[in-house]
Amino acid sequence: GQQVMQIPQYQHVQEGEDFTTYCNSSTTLSNIQWYKQRPGGHPVFLIQLVKSGEVKKQKRLTFQFGEAKKNSSLHITATQTTDVGTYFCAGPGDSNYQLIWGAGTKLIIKP
């Protein structure tokens, strides 16, 4: 069945360093969504990408959708403690009512 693979599972960074998480789908996606879940919280929608090759920015966060619409990335420049959490990508499933979720990448700031 359709799968969305997300790597890495964890990334430890010093505050101020950059962070990147990658998603790869086994099939072409009509769109991809990104969510952030703070420790102890629930996933919160960040952004949706729809167009091939699309790049969107939200302050220090840069989201990209691949040309083939099968991969996507989230890059955070100069991480801050407020960025700590797990970042999930998700693409529409066969029914289009469901989302197929990546396993998430946990951003950990080294003390």
Partner 1 sequence: EADIYQTPRYLVIGTGKKITLECSQTMGHDKMYWYQQDPGMELHLIHYSYGVNSTEKGDLSSESTVSRIRTEHFPLTLESARPSHTSQYLCASKKEGYEQYFGPGTRLTVT
Work out the end-to-end distance of the chain between its first and last CA atoms, rounded to an integer number of angstroms.
Answer: 40
86 binds partner 1 (CB under 8 A): yes
How far is 31 from 49, CA to CA, in rounded Å?
6
- DSSP bridge partners of 91: 100
CB closer to partner 1 out of 82 and 97: 97
Cβ count within 10 A of residue 51: 10
Contact window for partner 1 (CB under 8 A) among 11-19, 31-39, 60-68, 70-78: 31-39
Site for partner 1 in 41-80 (CB under 8 A): 41-45, 48
37 binds partner 1 (CB under 8 A): yes
Site for partner 1 in 2-21 (CB under 8 A): none
Q: Which residues contact 84 (CB under 8 A, 6 or more apart)?
A: 38, 39, 107, 108, 109
CB closer to partner 1 out of 13 and 103: 103
Binding footprint of partner 1 on the chain (CB under 8 A): 33, 37, 39-45, 48, 86, 88, 97-99, 101, 103-104, 106
